[in-house]
Amino acid sequence: MNLQLVALGLLTGTLTGAFFALFDVPIPAPPELPGLMGIVGIYFGYKLVQYLGLSVDIFDSVGF
């Protein structure tokens, strides 16, 4: 993992959140911890499936 990219992502997110707060615009993310944990869960689930090497070809499943 590239720590520099992680720091840049955190900085970008912080500046974006500050922008939304400054202009009193609702953030495009869940404003409470349970919603945020749902997003973290989606990320972990995605990484778990990648780690296990699982995949489904959608087009093959529907016959295209």
Q: Which residue ranges make up each domain of the chain?
A: 3-62
Reported as type and span, the H/E element at residue 41 is helix 33-52
Q: What is the pLDDT of residue 50?
A: 95
* Residues whose CB is less than 8 angstroms from the CB of residue 25 and which lie 6 or more positions away in sequence, other chains included: 19
- Global model pTM greater than 0.85: no
Question: How do residues 16-29 score in pLDDT, each as one tens digit?
Answer: 989 999 999 988 77
Q: State which residues of the chain have pLDDT below 50.
A: none
